[in-house]
A = this chain, B = another copy of it.
Amino acid sequence: MTNISHDDHLDGYDPSAYDRPSVTVDLVLLASTDRRLRALLLRRDQPPQAGRWALPGGFVATDESLDAAAARVLREKVGLDGARLEQLYTFGAVDRDPRMRIVTVAYLALLRPEQMVQALRGGRVTAATLDGDPLGALNDEGAELPLAFDHRHILSVACERLRGKIDYSDLAFAFLPERFTLRALQDVHEAVLGTTLNKPAFRRKMLDRGQLIATGDREADASHRPAELFRVRDAVA
């Protein structure tokens, strides 16, 4: 201990006097397809944890806010712009990274199908299906992908957050294109909750909320009766 008071709140603090943790952001990027949640992951090609799959992440610079760092990582590593990032939770266990002390601020973004496609075209990220309890990440063949660091834990916190908020927030619309059917909206809810829902009750609840606007158009590719397309009143950015 030096003569600088560590006890007083930031008073007389010399930034070089103490070792301190590094700060990173990690992004949980989710999409909803076929009543399943999918997450975008990067395969690590260098040690430690080479071969394992990780969330896109990066260090926070001293001259950028946490939100800005998350947006930069989304742009640089995933090739996406303008997805709405929301802070999820901050993970700060001492041994969560084997090399050094790293505190990571996790961000969550929900992707529309076209954003998902754009990210995958970038070539760096891969989509994994989230399933099971405890949560696992599966590839297209159903094999479990080994996750790096505490990223399995971060993913499960993200899914919990989704489940807790979907009933009373606009979150589901962030997974959908601008125009969508009520069935597609219900599929999103079922993917997030992992259950099936009652169709008439679901329709009533959604329509009574007054957020949905019927377009009058109908879906095109249906092999049978096509459903009406809706859009959201206050477009979710």
* Chain-B contact segment, one of A51-59, A111-119, A186-194, A207-215: A51-59
A47-82: CB near B (< 8 Å → 1, else 0) gives 100000010111111111111000000001100000
> Nearest-CB distance from A90 to chain B (Å)?
4
Contact indicator A9/B66 (Cβ below 8 Å)? no
What's the Cα separation between A8 and B58 when bound, in Å? 8
CB-based contact A13/B103 at 8 Å:
no
Minimum CB distance partner of A18 in chain B: B59
Which chain B residue shows the least CB distance to A15? B100
Interface residues on A, range: 35 or more
Contact A99 B59 (CB under 8 A): no
CB neighbours (8 Å) of A93 from chain B are 65
Task: Decide if A101 is an interface residue (CB 8 Å cutoff).
Answer: yes
Known: A10-B99, A18-B59, A87-B89. 17 other contacts (CB 8 A): A7-B76, A8-B46, A9-B77, A10-B97, A11-B44, A13-B22, A15-B22, A18-B61, A19-B62, A21-B23, A21-B60, A60-B92, A63-B94, A63-B101, A66-B90, A87-B90, A103-B105
